[in-house]
Structure 1
Amino acid sequence: MLGRAVSAVHNGIQSELVYVEADVSSGFPRFSIVGLPDSAVNEARLRIRSAFHNCSLPFPKGRITVNLQPASLRKQGSGLDLAIAIAILRAEGMLVERKQTAFLAELGLDGSLVPAEATVGLALRLAEAGIQELYVAPGPPIPGPLASLMNIVASSTLTQVVAQLTNHPPVCAVPSRTSMDDKTSRQDATIPFDMLDSLPNRAFEKRLLAISAAGRHPLLFIGPPGVGKTTLSHRLIDLLPNLSEADALRSYAYHELVNPNAQFSLRPPLREPHHTLTPAGLTGSGSPPRPGEVTLADNGVLLLDECFEFSKATLNALREPLTSGVIHVSRNGRTASLPARFLLVGTANPCPCGWRGYGECRCLEHDVRRYWSRCPGPLLDRIDLIHYMNRVPDGTNNPLGSRDPVAFELRQAVSQARAILEPVDELDPIKQFQPRAVSMLTHLCDKLCVTERVVVQTAKLARTIAALDRRDEIRVEDVEEAFALRSSARR
């Protein structure tokens, strides 16, 4: 007799459905698993046999053949244990097959269920395939948006799963659905404004943060040590609106692959890698490729503190995702396209000692040129906003500052600007420009002999400036400010 069950496995950053078939026939007792299983999947034979014995479930005495479809996909991990056990029980006639039901858990020798690796990404794929009920092991709370897509049943043992499938719930029933605590969800969606409000005399820098957040324009702060570059860069994430539930689930699934203790949140992710980061760590590594920093920062902020200390190869790897929002990775003959639509913000010193133009600089001229050569020219050309920061004059304000509504107003302006910019046609950079604004854009581009990329980026920057002022139409002053912001720091 043939028994079937449904589960899922990770294939790099993607999740793939696995259809488990179990055939029990007469013959010499043997337990075989086919369909490209790895060592962890093959070892399921021993775990399942012991779990059946310790749960007082009859184990088939004949020949057992388990097929994992699709056979061409490499099956990795131990999350298929429960699905294989259920398929065997169905092959023996002990359980009736249920459609739109899946199983995702590892089995212990005593029949207990252990959570599978990165369950959320697998559950999302199963929900997309129309699965309505998923049996898992008790573990971290399931995000509320995921629990609303399907009925997630948390069971502690194989015996409980069998009892629930036969409509005879055990005495110690586990709640059928777990979700994030409401209070925790509200806290995750709350945006702290205290730090941004407590930075006095930084009105221009805060406007740059708003422009960057509204139009997703890369931003670079340059200045001496201790001037507040990193503090301001950390506050950029506060101006971004909350993610949609679908985007938040996808972001959580990416983070869960590299950090089992990741927490679900509706806030955009902020990634701040160390300057020793390698190109593979930035773009993704492994076979099949696992997410790198650009993918983990998808729909969020990638902060490169002291970005000129990163290797030139690492910085060069940013050029493709900054332009297309996708990174194509090839590892050992396998290619994957990973999402990488992040907002780049960086900080840097003007020279190796950090005081060139701000105080007594001890650097030689060739040391300064070599320092700046670490950042490739094509990458600097893709950064729309480069700003040289100065120290705040002493005695102008209380260092702690008094709370004012500037952060709240900035976030409101960013949200409204994004709503205006969303339907804009990316293929027509000068759409909705006034005729005089188009003439000004053409005149300045011809006078400065800029490239086509700079023309398009300047037009987008002018559109963002107009959107922050709640205008659909782009005026001459918007074009002038956009050119001033792009060219003032490129000296």
Structure 2
Amino acid sequence: MSLAVLASRALSGAHAHVVRVETHLGPGLPGFNVVGLPDAGVRESRERVRAAIINSGFEFPAGRITVNLSPADLPKESGRFDLPIALGLLLASGQLPGPPSAGDAGGKPPAMPASESILARLVLAGELSLTGALTPVTAPLLIALGVARDQPDATLVLPAGSAEQAAWVPGLRVLSARSLADVAAHITGAHALPDAVPAPWPEPPPVPCLSDVRGQPAARRALEVAAAGGHSLLMVGPPGAGKSMLAQRLPGLLPPLSRTQALEAAAVAALAGHAQAPAGQPPFRAPHHSLSVPALVGGGTHPRPGEISLAHHGVLFLDELPEFNRRTLESLREPLETGRVLISRAMRTARFPARFQLVAAMNPCPCGWRGHPARACACTPDQVARYAGRVSGPLLDRIDLHLRLPPVAPEDLDGPPGEASPAVRERVLACRGRQLERQDKPNAALAGAELDCHCALDESGRELLRQAMRRLRGSARVLHRTLRVARTIADLEGAERLGARHVAQAVQYRAE
């Protein structure tokens, strides 16, 4: 045969798109062209593939070689296409048995050889060294998740080292290959590739316990409400009030990640260059306030995920919120609403998941001591106003819980420890269970008609909410977020219908 078609995957953002690797060997002056919007890494595969074929004991075919990576409008990058290109050349040149051409067997429908049935099910990705050995590829988990979603009956072939990570994806068969010769032997039936053995599922790392926080009962309660409903939280208080300690203990209160969620979080981390094993503990990201917009939301010439995507299914903690660049903070507004980020460039558009829980902390003024009972504030009213104005109203509208923390009293520091995280987590898990049974999502994700259905108020609660919104001059977004928080408070109590007491507690978390 002179044409071979194999399947592979190309990464675009956090998605692994299907790619047809079409290899044609025709007459004419020798040449080797790769088309289909390849980058430099893909174009350089010509030299790697040539040397790998020769050093694996095969002959490099003489003739005009054209490799088309379809679809042509999808950018292709990295060396993961080396393996399907090399196999396509061996099939097209007849060095490996492939499907017969349409003209064989006297015009009769050709019989399907064993190699064709094998090839039809394979998805191949792997970079070749000059010796013919396969080297690990980028983001094998992302590739495996894409194949499991789109082609659940397919068999994924990856280099050893990458295959063991991809084997974590349930329901997908993954084969481990060490060289081009091994894959060729598998296609011919001479020697089958072994199934990849998944590495042991890692245990979640230890997290700080809530009992380390002394005093601050209102803040502990707010943290429980935030964990139970998946709500965002802003803490305002003087230095040493415990804002950072509370934020660091939120992951220990959240429900454990499902296997799919853990794999998604690990796959996004791999895209950003972090070798992170999947774990059941929600991720916790706390970037420095000097980070740029691309570092927060993602970007670059070849778009990579930012901190909000690395916090996918977890917590993003922004300490010293007003110290962040204003433009950087404003870039959070859309992801907080949509749960994803779209990065557009001249040649490509990348989408990354960003379903994170925002926790922010700030001082009440530049010096930090405004309202402190024992320390005098040295800031003028204009300085305080400018400091608070660094965080825009639209961003504050998107934060569900606003909490002011008082300084910790000395007697609280010497007192007994508070309730530990496991006990609080049990209540959070029970509350989340009610939400999933009722609406199949956390309360923080309720929108539109779902609010009318699941957050119906009695008459006293409705009147209290009207009065509170008039007093706070809140927007429609604030009203909806207050309703979601009230729903979570009611769920923590096990109440079916929202009442005035639930609304009153929720309104307290919106007082500025």
TM-score computed with the length of structure 1 as normaliser: 0.90
Aligned to 1:19: 20
Structure 2: distance between partners of 1:217 and 1:480:
17
Equivalent AA in structure 2 for residue 180 of structure 1: A
Aligned-partner SS, 2:252: helix
1:202 aligns with 2:216: yes
Aligned to 2:200: 181
Aligned partners of 1:141 and 1:180 also within 8 Å: no
1:294 aligns with 2:313: no
Aligned to 1:49: 50
- Choose which of 144, 151, 160 in structure 1 pairs with 2:182: 160
1:313 aligns with 2:327: yes
Deviation at 1:298, TM superposition (A): 2.2
Judging changes above 3 Å, is the alpha-carbon distance between structure 1 residues 347 and 447 closer, same or farther for their aligned structure 2 residues? closer
Deviation at 1:221, TM superposition (A): 1.5
Equivalent AA in structure 1 for residue 86 of structure 2: A
Aligned to 1:9: 10
Identity %: 36
Judging changes above 3 Å, is the alpha-carbon distance between structure 1 residues 271 and 145 closer, same or farther for their aligned structure 2 residues? farther
Aligned to 1:380: 396
Judging changes above 3 Å, is the alpha-carbon distance between structure 1 residues 342 and 40 closer, same or farther for their aligned structure 2 residues? same
Structure 2: distance between partners of 1:134 and 1:448:
57
Deviation at 1:266, TM superposition (A): 2.5
Equivalent AA in structure 1 for residue 330 of structure 2: N
Structure 2: distance between partners of 1:361 and 1:447:
28
Deviation at 1:305, TM superposition (A): 1.1
Equivalent AA in structure 2 for residue 486 of structure 1: R
Answer with 60-69 or 425-434: which moved more. 425-434
- Choose which of 207, 229, 253 in structure 1 pairs with 2:243: 229
1:115 aligns with 2:153: no
Structure 2: distance between partners of 1:475 and 1:145:
49
Equivalent AA in structure 1 for residue 93 of structure 2: E
Structure 2: distance between partners of 1:158 and 1:31:
19
- Choose which of 134, 138, 148 in structure 1 pairs with 2:156: 134
Aligned to 2:381: 365
Deviation at 1:336, TM superposition (A): 4.5
Gaps of 5+ in 1: none
1:283 aligns with 2:297: yes
Aligned to 2:357: 343
Aligned partners of 1:133 and 1:152 also within 8 Å: yes
Deviation at 1:285, TM superposition (A): 1.1
Gaps of 5+ in 2: 98-114, 440-445
Aligned to 2:432: 418
Structure 2: distance between partners of 1:144 and 1:309:
40
Structure 1: distance between partners of 2:32 and 2:509:
69
Equivalent AA in structure 1 for residue 55 of structure 2: N
Answer with 41-50 or 5-14: which moved more. 5-14
- Choose which of 238, 249, 267 in structure 2 pairs with 1:253: 267
Moved over 6 A (4+): none
Aligned to 2:339: 325
TM-score computed with the length of structure 2 as normaliser: 0.87
Equivalent AA in structure 2 for residue 274 of structure 1: H
Aligned partners of 1:420 and 1:472 also within 8 Å: no
Q: For residues 211-245 of structure 1, what are the alpha-carbon distances to aligned partners after superposition, in whole Å with 9 as ceiling and x for unaligned?
A: 11122222111222222211111111111112222
Structure 1: distance between partners of 2:357 and 2:295:
18
Answer with 477-486 or 11-20: which moved more. 11-20
Deviation at 1:77, TM superposition (A): 0.9
Equivalent AA in structure 1 for residue 306 of structure 2: G
* Aligned residue pair count: 478
Structure 2: distance between partners of 1:326 and 1:134:
28
Structure 1: distance between partners of 2:493 and 2:167:
34
Equivalent AA in structure 1 for residue 250 of structure 2: L
1:106 aligns with 2:127: yes
Judging changes above 3 Å, is the alpha-carbon distance between structure 1 residues 46 and 449 closer, same or farther for their aligned structure 2 residues? closer
Structure 2: distance between partners of 1:86 and 1:249:
30
Equivalent AA in structure 2 for residue 316 of structure 1: E
Aligned partners of 1:416 and 1:470 also within 8 Å: no
Aligned partners of 1:136 and 1:154 also within 8 Å: yes
Q: For residues 310-342 of structure 1, what are the alpha-carbon distances to aligned partners after superposition, in whole Å with 9 as ceiling and x for unaligned?
A: 011111112222233333433337545543221
